Amino acid sequence: MTALIFDCDGVLADTERHGHLPAFNATFERFGLPVRWTEQEYGEKLKIGGGKERMASLFADPAFAAAVGDADRTELLLTWHKAKTAAFKQLVADGRVPPRPGIARIVHAALDAGWTVAVASTSAEESVRAVLETAVGPTTIPVFAGDVVPAKKPDPAIYALTVERLGLDRADTLVVEDSRNGLLAATGAGLRCLVTVNDYTRDENFDEAVLVVSELGDPGRPPIEVLANRGAARPGDYLTLDDLRACLEEPR
Protein backbone atom coordinates (compact mmCIF):
# COMPACT_ATOMS: atom_id res chain seq x y z
CA MET A 1 0.00 0.00 0.00
CA THR A 2 1.31 3.45 -0.91
CA ALA A 3 2.05 5.72 2.04
CA LEU A 4 2.57 9.47 2.25
CA ILE A 5 4.29 11.04 5.27
CA PHE A 6 4.23 14.81 5.68
CA ASP A 7 6.50 16.96 7.78
CA CYS A 8 4.53 19.76 9.48
CA ASP A 9 6.37 23.07 9.64
CA GLY A 10 6.86 24.61 6.22
CA VAL A 11 5.06 21.69 4.55
CA LEU A 12 1.47 21.67 5.85
CA ALA A 13 1.52 25.42 6.43
CA ASP A 14 3.83 28.40 6.31
CA THR A 15 4.40 28.09 10.04
CA GLU A 16 7.91 29.38 10.55
CA ARG A 17 7.56 33.03 9.52
CA HIS A 18 3.89 33.46 10.45
CA GLY A 19 3.69 31.19 13.51
CA HIS A 20 6.81 30.01 15.27
CA LEU A 21 8.90 33.18 14.94
CA PRO A 22 6.24 35.53 16.37
CA ALA A 23 5.39 32.93 19.04
CA PHE A 24 9.02 32.72 20.13
CA ASN A 25 9.32 36.51 20.28
CA ALA A 26 6.04 36.86 22.17
CA THR A 27 7.34 34.33 24.69
CA PHE A 28 10.64 36.16 25.09
CA GLU A 29 8.70 39.37 25.75
CA ARG A 30 6.31 37.72 28.18
CA PHE A 31 9.17 36.43 30.35
CA GLY A 32 11.26 39.58 30.02
CA LEU A 33 14.09 37.81 28.20
CA PRO A 34 16.67 40.08 26.54
CA VAL A 35 16.30 38.69 23.03
CA ARG A 36 14.17 39.19 19.90
CA TRP A 37 14.87 37.12 16.80
CA THR A 38 14.77 38.80 13.40
CA GLU A 39 13.70 36.79 10.35
CA GLN A 40 17.35 36.40 9.37
CA GLU A 41 18.41 35.27 12.84
CA TYR A 42 15.52 32.82 12.97
CA GLY A 43 16.59 31.40 9.62
CA GLU A 44 19.87 30.44 11.29
CA LYS A 45 18.02 28.94 14.26
CA LEU A 46 16.08 26.69 11.89
CA LYS A 47 19.26 24.68 11.41
CA ILE A 48 18.61 23.43 14.95
CA GLY A 49 15.89 20.78 15.14
CA GLY A 50 13.24 21.34 17.83
CA GLY A 51 11.82 24.40 19.59
CA LYS A 52 13.26 23.69 23.03
CA GLU A 53 16.62 23.09 21.40
CA ARG A 54 16.45 26.47 19.64
CA MET A 55 15.65 28.16 22.92
CA ALA A 56 18.48 26.27 24.64
CA SER A 57 20.92 27.72 22.10
CA LEU A 58 20.36 31.13 23.72
CA PHE A 59 22.44 30.02 26.70
CA ALA A 60 25.52 29.94 24.46
CA ASP A 61 25.50 33.74 24.78
CA PRO A 62 27.19 34.59 28.11
CA ALA A 63 25.21 37.83 28.41
CA PHE A 64 21.92 35.95 28.07
CA ALA A 65 23.01 33.27 30.53
CA ALA A 66 24.03 35.94 33.02
CA ALA A 67 20.71 37.77 32.63
CA VAL A 68 18.76 34.59 33.32
CA GLY A 69 20.87 33.68 36.35
CA ASP A 70 21.28 30.35 38.11
CA ALA A 71 17.74 29.02 37.71
CA ASP A 72 17.24 25.42 36.60
CA ARG A 73 17.63 25.62 32.83
CA THR A 74 15.64 22.46 32.16
CA GLU A 75 12.64 23.83 34.06
CA LEU A 76 13.00 27.23 32.41
CA LEU A 77 13.03 25.69 28.93
CA LEU A 78 9.95 23.60 29.69
CA THR A 79 8.10 26.67 30.99
CA TRP A 80 9.12 28.85 28.07
CA HIS A 81 8.32 26.19 25.51
CA LYS A 82 4.88 25.51 26.99
CA ALA A 83 4.09 29.23 26.74
CA LYS A 84 5.48 29.38 23.22
CA THR A 85 3.31 26.40 22.15
CA ALA A 86 0.22 28.13 23.53
CA ALA A 87 1.11 31.34 21.67
CA PHE A 88 1.63 29.39 18.46
CA LYS A 89 -1.68 27.54 18.78
CA GLN A 90 -3.47 30.87 19.27
CA LEU A 91 -1.91 32.24 16.07
CA VAL A 92 -3.13 29.12 14.22
CA ALA A 93 -6.62 29.47 15.74
CA ASP A 94 -6.68 33.13 14.71
CA GLY A 95 -6.02 32.20 11.08
CA ARG A 96 -2.59 33.81 11.05
CA VAL A 97 -0.76 30.70 9.75
CA PRO A 98 -1.75 29.99 6.14
CA PRO A 99 -1.84 26.38 4.86
CA ARG A 100 0.45 25.75 1.91
CA PRO A 101 -1.09 25.28 -1.55
CA GLY A 102 -2.06 21.77 -2.53
CA ILE A 103 -1.94 20.22 0.93
CA ALA A 104 -5.68 19.77 1.49
CA ARG A 105 -6.18 18.60 -2.11
CA ILE A 106 -3.37 16.01 -2.01
CA VAL A 107 -4.19 14.71 1.47
CA HIS A 108 -7.86 14.14 0.69
CA ALA A 109 -7.06 12.61 -2.70
CA ALA A 110 -4.57 10.23 -1.09
CA LEU A 111 -7.06 9.19 1.59
CA ASP A 112 -9.78 8.69 -1.02
CA ALA A 113 -7.37 6.49 -2.99
CA GLY A 114 -6.75 4.31 0.03
CA TRP A 115 -3.23 5.52 0.73
CA THR A 116 -1.83 5.62 4.25
CA VAL A 117 -1.25 9.25 5.27
CA ALA A 118 0.68 10.36 8.35
CA VAL A 119 2.49 13.37 9.78
CA ALA A 120 5.96 13.07 11.30
CA SER A 121 7.46 16.12 12.99
CA THR A 122 9.73 16.91 15.89
CA SER A 123 7.65 19.98 16.81
CA ALA A 124 5.32 19.82 19.80
CA GLU A 125 2.42 17.45 19.14
CA GLU A 126 -0.18 20.06 20.19
CA SER A 127 1.18 22.47 17.60
CA VAL A 128 1.31 19.84 14.86
CA ARG A 129 -2.29 18.74 15.43
CA ALA A 130 -3.49 22.35 15.39
CA VAL A 131 -1.74 22.99 12.06
CA LEU A 132 -2.97 19.72 10.55
CA GLU A 133 -6.60 20.43 11.41
CA THR A 134 -6.34 23.95 10.02
CA ALA A 135 -4.70 22.72 6.82
CA VAL A 136 -6.96 19.74 6.00
CA GLY A 137 -9.92 19.90 8.41
CA PRO A 138 -10.91 17.42 11.14
CA THR A 139 -8.99 14.21 10.59
CA THR A 140 -7.84 10.96 12.19
CA ILE A 141 -4.51 11.01 10.35
CA PRO A 142 -1.85 9.59 12.72
CA VAL A 143 0.64 12.11 14.06
CA PHE A 144 4.11 11.27 15.35
CA ALA A 145 5.57 14.36 16.97
CA GLY A 146 7.38 16.00 19.82
CA ASP A 147 9.61 14.05 22.16
CA VAL A 148 8.49 10.57 21.02
CA VAL A 149 12.05 10.07 19.77
CA PRO A 150 15.28 10.99 21.60
CA ALA A 151 16.89 12.86 18.69
CA LYS A 152 15.47 15.53 16.39
CA LYS A 153 15.92 15.85 12.63
CA PRO A 154 18.30 15.38 10.79
CA ASP A 155 18.35 12.19 12.87
CA PRO A 156 16.09 9.66 11.08
CA ALA A 157 14.46 8.44 14.31
CA ILE A 158 11.05 10.08 13.75
CA TYR A 159 10.68 8.51 10.31
CA ALA A 160 11.96 5.13 11.47
CA LEU A 161 9.35 5.22 14.24
CA THR A 162 6.55 6.15 11.82
CA VAL A 163 7.48 3.31 9.46
CA GLU A 164 7.62 0.82 12.33
CA ARG A 165 4.40 1.88 14.05
CA LEU A 166 2.36 1.90 10.83
CA GLY A 167 3.99 -1.19 9.34
CA LEU A 168 4.93 0.63 6.14
CA ASP A 169 6.89 -0.71 3.19
CA ARG A 170 9.77 1.70 2.65
CA ALA A 171 9.69 1.11 -1.11
CA ASP A 172 6.09 2.37 -1.22
CA THR A 173 6.49 5.31 1.16
CA LEU A 174 7.13 8.90 0.11
CA VAL A 175 8.06 11.70 2.52
CA VAL A 176 7.21 15.35 1.84
CA GLU A 177 9.71 17.72 3.45
CA ASP A 178 10.83 21.33 3.13
CA SER A 179 14.36 21.45 4.57
CA ARG A 180 17.71 19.74 4.30
CA ASN A 181 17.44 18.50 7.89
CA GLY A 182 14.12 16.89 7.03
CA LEU A 183 15.46 15.44 3.79
CA LEU A 184 18.41 13.88 5.61
CA ALA A 185 16.05 12.44 8.24
CA ALA A 186 13.88 10.86 5.55
CA THR A 187 16.67 9.44 3.43
CA GLY A 188 18.50 8.30 6.58
CA ALA A 189 15.44 6.16 7.31
CA GLY A 190 15.63 4.67 3.82
CA LEU A 191 12.73 6.66 2.38
CA ARG A 192 12.39 8.64 -0.83
CA CYS A 193 11.67 12.32 -0.34
CA LEU A 194 9.89 15.08 -2.24
CA VAL A 195 10.85 18.60 -1.16
CA THR A 196 8.58 21.65 -1.30
CA VAL A 197 10.83 24.61 -0.55
CA ASN A 198 9.96 27.83 1.23
CA ASP A 199 11.69 31.19 1.59
CA TYR A 200 13.86 29.92 4.45
CA THR A 201 14.99 26.72 2.72
CA ARG A 202 15.00 27.47 -1.01
CA ASP A 203 18.81 27.74 -1.23
CA GLU A 204 19.60 24.61 0.78
CA ASN A 205 21.18 21.51 -0.76
CA PHE A 206 18.57 18.95 -1.81
CA ASP A 207 20.75 16.61 -3.86
CA GLU A 208 19.22 13.51 -2.25
CA ALA A 209 15.60 14.47 -3.06
CA VAL A 210 13.77 12.70 -5.86
CA LEU A 211 11.80 15.86 -6.71
CA VAL A 212 12.16 19.50 -5.57
CA VAL A 213 9.34 21.95 -6.25
CA SER A 214 8.27 25.41 -5.16
CA GLU A 215 4.97 24.04 -3.81
CA LEU A 216 2.47 21.25 -4.47
CA GLY A 217 0.27 23.71 -6.34
CA ASP A 218 -3.44 23.89 -7.00
CA PRO A 219 -5.68 24.42 -10.03
CA GLY A 220 -6.07 28.14 -10.70
CA ARG A 221 -2.73 29.07 -9.14
CA PRO A 222 0.41 29.98 -11.10
CA PRO A 223 2.28 26.87 -12.30
CA ILE A 224 4.67 25.31 -9.83
CA GLU A 225 8.40 25.64 -10.35
CA VAL A 226 10.31 22.37 -10.66
CA LEU A 227 13.75 23.01 -9.17
CA ALA A 228 15.10 19.46 -9.55
CA ASN A 229 13.68 16.18 -10.82
CA ARG A 230 15.58 12.92 -10.41
CA GLY A 231 12.59 10.61 -10.69
CA ALA A 232 9.91 9.42 -13.07
CA ALA A 233 7.37 12.18 -12.34
CA ARG A 234 6.53 14.61 -15.12
CA PRO A 235 4.68 17.39 -13.29
CA GLY A 236 2.32 19.82 -14.96
CA ASP A 237 1.07 23.06 -13.42
CA TYR A 238 0.54 21.32 -10.08
CA LEU A 239 1.39 17.96 -8.55
CA THR A 240 -1.07 15.06 -8.66
CA LEU A 241 -1.19 11.68 -6.94
CA ASP A 242 0.24 10.20 -10.13
CA ASP A 243 3.25 12.50 -9.78
CA LEU A 244 3.75 11.47 -6.18
CA ARG A 245 3.44 7.78 -7.02
CA ALA A 246 5.95 8.26 -9.84
CA CYS A 247 8.44 9.55 -7.28
CA LEU A 248 8.58 5.98 -5.96
CA GLU A 249 9.33 4.51 -9.39
CA GLU A 250 12.66 4.22 -11.13
CA PRO A 251 13.29 7.05 -13.62
CA ARG A 252 12.31 6.26 -17.17
CA 159 to chain centre: 12
Other beta carbons within 10 angstroms of residue 17's beta carbon come to 16
- How high is the pLDDT of residue 50? 86
Residue 251 has pLDDT above 70, yes or no: yes
249: CB partners within 8 A, 6+ apart: 231, 232
Q: Do the beta carbons of residue 19 and residue 89 sit within 8 Å? A: no
- How high is the pLDDT of residue 252? 60
Query: What's the order of all strands across the beta sheet hosting 173-177?
Result: 143-144, 116-120, 3-6, 173-177, 192-196, 211-213, 226-229
- Please report the domains of the chain, with CATH numbers, ordered by start residue: 3-15+98-246 (3.40.50.1000), 16-93 (1.10.150.240)
SS3 state of residue 238 = coil
Q: Do the beta carbons of residue 215 and residue 100 sit within 8 Å? A: yes
Q: Do the beta carbons of residue 127 and residue 66 sit within 8 Å? A: no
State how far the Cα of 121 lies from the Cα of 15, in Å rounded to an integer: 13
Backbone region of residue 246 per phi and psi (left: phi > 0; alpha: psi in -120 to 50; beta: other values): alpha
pLDDT, tens only, 121-152: 988 899 999 999 999 999 999 999 988 999 99
- How high is the pLDDT of residue 250? 82
Residue 161 has pLDDT above 90, yes or no: yes
> Could you give the residue numbers annotated as active site?
7, 9
State how far the Cα of 36 lies from the Cα of 61, in Å rounded to an integer: 13
Give the whole-number percent of the chain exceeding pLDDT 70: 100
Mean pLDDT within 96-102: 95
State how far the Cα of 48 lies from the Cα of 39, in Å rounded to an integer: 15
pLDDT, tens only, 189-243: 999 999 999 989 999 999 999 999 999 999 999 999 999 999 999 999 999 999 9
170: CB partners within 8 A, 6+ apart: 163, 189, 190, 191
- How high is the pLDDT of residue 29? 96
State how far the Cα of 180 lies from the Cα of 161, in Å rounded to an integer: 19
